[in-house]
């Protein structure tokens, strides 16, 4: 039987699901009965316990059934001090006193007459206590110590004291709960003590105590830190402090070395003096601590360079176009060809010439196509056709072209057999040009006589962003690189970690064979032929190494003053190598460098030299006829990062140039 309206309404009232006033008839079936609502009922449950000095959060009382919305809440009795109860039924705040607090919450609905309900509440507020389970670490005699005790809850400020036992000698407990100092006594028996914390609860501050124990041991024998001394200079005062880890001060240092021409080690580990002779001086150190513990013998190399005339960077004329990823090639007439690159918006086909006599740039002919990350190689064999012209090849396109400095024009020449991106191009002693790698194992030779490319042997692995250096015997050293140069145009610095392997190309057999590996993987690094036939490798951090063609092995050289990626290294007429610019390796955002340094081969070390006028990386560096070095273009990355937050900054493609002389 289908229920009538009166029966349906009664069912809803009994269920307590009406959210607003509903006519619930108390008499007959007619519409003239009185208006009633079910009695409100507060939802069962009680608020959780709180802790003094700790934000309680929010507990909201609710009506489970009955009553007419909206509801108004109130309370009577004793709320915990520091807490409040709102008319919306929310209990919140930060309690400042411990105990059990009894109060009653009341809800009033909106019916006429109003209906109410009450619920007695007993709320426990726990007192502060020293956090259980915390364990101060063991101490070491003579080593700085620090530990912060903590509490669960408590009204700030807190104060801490030692109420029993003995702290390890040399340590003190600060009023804020920090245990600090330097232990002055070691003991196999733990130092036991009790700490007591007192908070600012009202009306009576709460206290809590806990027992702790700390063992203080003697330190292990000292270990000499491996930080190498910087390069010293003949005639200039020098001082460097060697350091240790572990051991107990004071320390006494001793050295085993040949005389170092003005440098000596003091008993406190300071190498100092005024060098009178350049060279590479080995020194072996040991150190003994106050417990008569001795370190292992540790070897260092002391680098002493010759004094050289002061050199600095000076501005010169600006290029007509801002560029990075371009090439710069010294021509037989002493001028420098600047070609291609990227202006920050697009690849460039334009080229210009730098005239050292006037220190100005002037436009010349356009390449046959826009190029970036290409190679430009001067054809320098005067016995072959196309002498004095510049071969432009690579950068991801098969085509190649020649620049004629007399006519100021570019003309197409034979095409390559494979695409190369991040490749190298090396002029061989026979006048041919070896184009190798570039996201491939492929290598090929350009013949100036025929103007064409022919395949030669393949590299042992695919490489991009590697180096290729002509050795005195005509072979070519290939080092490092990555498998892929990087999506999105990361030239001239590939973004992936580099490879440590190296190989050698032999023009007589047309083959590549593996040789010794570098000390670490490198890419976007530099490789510079030195006057003694060895090759200096720098880049990706502040380490450097030397390749010996005689042994086929790499050995560690002195450390650079600055860690840098994407810098340049240029051999100068005085046998030094100028390492300039680049950017900080790694990091969340690129930052270009203005620093530079000189590698002095007689010392095997690096010396800081002048600052660039503009920080830059991805630039070119060209040794001019007069011995100065021309730096052109690149990008100035200026970024900063907020700790744990975003990075911001600007990237400016540069048209400026400068001279180091």
The CATH number that applies at residue 383 is 2.120.10.80
Of 282, 305, 328, the residue at which a domain comes to its end is 305
What are the tokens at 624? 């001019």
- Tell me: do 514 and 398 sit in the same domain: yes
Count other C-beta atoms under 10 Å from residue 626's C-beta.
11
Environment class of 270 (CB within 10 Å of its CB; exposed 0-12, middle 13-18, buried 19+): middle
Residue 120 near residue 104 (C-beta atoms within 8 A):
yes
pLDDT of residue 484: 60
Dihedral sign, Cα of residue 9, residue 13, residue 17, residue 19: positive
* Domain containing residue 55: 37-125
- Helix or strand run (H / E) with residue 593: none
> Rounded to 5 degrees, what angle do the CA atoms 318, 320, 321 make?
105
The rounded distance, in Å, linking the Cα atoms of 98 and 47 is 16
pLDDT of residue 33: 37
The partner residues of 394 in beta bridges, in order of sequence, read: none
**Does 530 map to a domain?**
no
CATH of the domain at 263: 2.60.40.10
- Tell me: do 415 and 494 sit in the same domain: yes
The rounded distance, in Å, linking the Cα atoms of 330 and 337 is 7
> 251 CB contacts (<8 Å, ≥6 apart)?
222, 244, 268, 269, 287, 288, 289, 290
Cα 9 → chain centroid: 71
pLDDT of residue 467: 97
> 505 CB contacts (<8 Å, ≥6 apart)?
434, 436, 443, 456, 457, 468, 475, 476, 478, 511, 512
Spell out the SS3 assignment of 319-344: CCCCCECCEEEECCCCCEEEECCECC
> Rounded to 5 degrees, what angle do the CA atoms 227, 231, 236 make?
130
Residue 101 near residue 122 (C-beta atoms within 8 A):
yes
**Does 551 map to a domain?**
no
pLDDT of residue 485: 53
Environment class of 643 (CB within 10 Å of its CB; exposed 0-12, middle 13-18, buried 19+): exposed
Count other C-beta atoms under 10 Å from residue 619's C-beta.
31
Q: What's the number of domains the chain is made of?
A: 5
Could you tell me the end-to-end alpha-carbon distance of the chain, in angstroms, rounded to an integer? 109
- Tell me: do 331 and 211 sit in the same domain: no
**Does 13 map to a domain?**
no
**Does 466 map to a domain?**
yes
- Tell me: do 121 and 134 sit in the same domain: no
Per-residue CA distances from 593 to 9, 18, 217, 590, 605 (Å): 82, 73, 46, 10, 20
pLDDT of residue 469: 98
Count other C-beta atoms under 10 Å from residue 597's C-beta.
24
- Tell me: do 404 and 460 sit in the same domain: yes
- Tell me: do 69 and 194 sit in the same domain: no
pTM, entire model: 0.74
Of 217, 235, 267, the residue at which a domain comes to its end is 217
pLDDT of residue 496: 56
- Tell me: do 384 and 348 sit in the same domain: no
Specify the long-range contacts of residues 579-586, CB closer than 8 Å, at least 24 apart: 579/526, 579/538, 579/606, 580/612, 580/621, 580/629, 580/631, 580/660, 581/612, 581/615, 581/616, 581/617, 581/619, 581/631, 581/634, 582/539, 582/617, 583/493, 583/617, 583/637, 585/540, 585/541
**Does 292 map to a domain?**
yes
Per-residue CA distances from 40 to 33, 45, 67, 71, 275 (Å): 21, 16, 4, 10, 96
Of 125, 152, 185, the residue at which a domain comes to its end is 125
What are the tokens at 475? 């072979």
Environment class of 333 (CB within 10 Å of its CB; exposed 0-12, middle 13-18, buried 19+): exposed
**Does 2 map to a domain?**
no
The rounded distance, in Å, linking the Cα atoms of 110 and 537 is 85
Count other C-beta atoms under 10 Å from residue 373's C-beta.
28
pLDDT of residue 645: 81
The rounded distance, in Å, linking the Cα atoms of 496 and 425 is 22
- Tell me: do 189 and 108 sit in the same domain: no
The rounded distance, in Å, linking the Cα atoms of 458 and 440 is 9
pLDDT of residue 14: 30
Mean pLDDT, consecutive 10-residue stretches, the chain (661 aa), reads 35 31 33 61 93 96 96 96 97 95 97 95 96 96 97 96 98 98 96 97 93 97 95 96 96 90 94 96 96 96 93 97 97 97 96 98 97 96 96 94 97 96 96 96 97 97 94 97 58 63 98 97 94 95 95 94 92 96 85 96 93 96 98 95 86 97 93
Supply φ then ψ for residue 578, to 5 degrees.
-90, 120
Q: Which among 533, 518, 375 is positioned nearest to 444, based on CA atoms?
A: 375
pLDDT of residue 151: 97
**Does 23 map to a domain?**
no
The rounded distance, in Å, linking the Cα atoms of 550 and 580 is 29
pLDDT of residue 36: 58
**Does 624 map to a domain?**
yes
Count other C-beta atoms under 10 Å from residue 588's C-beta.
10
- Tell me: do 607 and 661 sit in the same domain: yes
Specify the long-range contacts of residues 441-449, CB closer than 8 Å, at least 24 apart: 442/417, 442/418, 443/505, 443/512, 444/416, 444/417, 444/418, 446/391, 446/393, 446/400, 446/413, 446/414, 448/379, 448/381, 448/384, 448/385, 448/386, 448/387, 448/389, 448/391, 449/384, 449/385
Count other C-beta atoms under 10 Å from residue 265's C-beta.
21
Per-residue CA distances from 277 to 234, 262, 573 (Å): 6, 8, 21
- Tell me: do 200 and 238 sit in the same domain: no
User: Side by side, which strands form the sheet with 336-339?
Assistant: 327-330, 336-339, 351-355, 360-363
- Tell me: do 345 and 396 sit in the same domain: no
Residue 103 near residue 125 (C-beta atoms within 8 A):
no
- Tell me: do 139 and 52 sit in the same domain: no
């Amino acid at each position: 039987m289908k229920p009538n309206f009166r029966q349906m309404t009664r069912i809803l009232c009994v269920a307590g699901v009406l959210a607003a006033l509903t006519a619930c008839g108390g008499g007959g079936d007619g519409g003239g009965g009185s208006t009633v609502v079910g009695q409100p009922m507060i939802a069962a449950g009680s608020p959780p316990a709180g802790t003094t000095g700790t934000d309680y959060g929010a507990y909201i009382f609710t009506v489970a059934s009955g009553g007419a919305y909206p509801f108004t809440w109130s309370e009577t009795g004793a709320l915990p001090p520091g807490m409040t109860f709102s008319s919306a039924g929310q209990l919140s705040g930060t309690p400042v006193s411990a105990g059990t607090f009894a109060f009653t919450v009341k809800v009033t609905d909106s019916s006429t007459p109003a209906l109410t309900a009450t619920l007695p509440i007993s709320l426990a507020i726990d007192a502060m206590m020293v956090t259980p389970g915390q364990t101060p670490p063991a101490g070491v005699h003579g080593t700085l110590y620090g530990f912060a005790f903590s509490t669960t809850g408590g009204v700030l400020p807190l104060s801490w004291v030692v109420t029993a036992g003995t702290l390890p000698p040399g340590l003190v407990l600060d009023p804020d709960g920090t245990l600090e100092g330097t232990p002055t006594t070691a003991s196999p028996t733990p130092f036991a003590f009790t700490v007591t914390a007192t908070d600012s609860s009202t009306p009576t501050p709460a206290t809590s105590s806990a027992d702790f124990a700390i063992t203080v041991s003697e330190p292990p024998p000292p270990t000499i830190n491996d930080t190498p001394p910087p390069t010293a200079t003949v005639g200039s005062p020098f001082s460097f402090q060697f350091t240790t880890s572990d051991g107990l001060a004071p320390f006494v240092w001793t050295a085993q070395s040949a005389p170092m021409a003005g440098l000596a080690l003091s008993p406190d580990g300071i190498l100092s003096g005024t060098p009178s002779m350049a060279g590479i001086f080995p020194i072996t150190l040991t150190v003994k601590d106050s417990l008569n513990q001795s370190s292992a013998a540790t070897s260092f190399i002391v680098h002493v360079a010759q004094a050289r005339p002061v050199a600095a960077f000076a501005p010169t004329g600006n290029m007509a176009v801002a560029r990075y990823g371009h090439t710069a090639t010294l021509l037989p007439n002493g001028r420098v060809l600047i070609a291609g690159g990227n202006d920050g918006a697009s690849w460039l086909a334009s080229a210009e010439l730098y005239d050292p006599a006037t220190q100005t740039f002037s436009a010349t002919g356009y390449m046959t196509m826009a190029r970036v990350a290409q190679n430009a190689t001067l054809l320098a064999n005067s016995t072959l056709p196309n002498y004095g012209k510049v071969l432009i090849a690579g950068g991801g396109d098969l085509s190649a072209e020649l620049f004629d400095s007399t006519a100021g024009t570019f003309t197409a020449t034979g095409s390559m057999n494979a695409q190369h991106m991040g490749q190298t191009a090396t002029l061989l002693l026979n006048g041919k040009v070896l184009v190798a790698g570039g996201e491939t194992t492929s290598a090929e030779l350009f013949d100036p006589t025929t103007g064409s490319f022919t395949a030669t042997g393949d590299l042992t692995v695919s490489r991009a962003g590697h180096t290729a250096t002509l050795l005195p015997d005509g072979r070519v050293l290939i080092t490092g690189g990555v498998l892929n140069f990087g999506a999105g145009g990361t030239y001239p610095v590939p973004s992936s970690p580099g490879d440590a392997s190296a190989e050698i190309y032999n023009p007589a057999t047309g083959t590549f064979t593996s040789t010794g590996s570098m000390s670490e993987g490198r890419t976007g690094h530099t490789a510079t032929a030195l006057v003694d036939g060895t090759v200096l490798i720098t880049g990706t951090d502040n380490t450097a190494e030397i390749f010996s063609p005689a042994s086929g092995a790499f050995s560690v050289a002195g450390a650079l003053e600055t860690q840098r990626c994407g810098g340049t290294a240029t051999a100068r007429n005085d046998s030094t190598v100028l390492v300039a610019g680049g950017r900080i390796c790694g990091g969340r955002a690129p930052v270009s460098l203005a620093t530079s340094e000189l590698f002095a081969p007689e010392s095997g070390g690096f010396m800081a030299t002048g600052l660039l006028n503009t920080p830059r990386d991805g630039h070119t560096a060209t040794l001019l006829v007069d011995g100065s070095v021309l730096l052109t273009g690149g990008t100035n990355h200026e970024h900063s990062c907020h700790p744990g937050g975003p990075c911001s900054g600007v990237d400016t493609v540069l048209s400026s140039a400068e001279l180091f002389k």
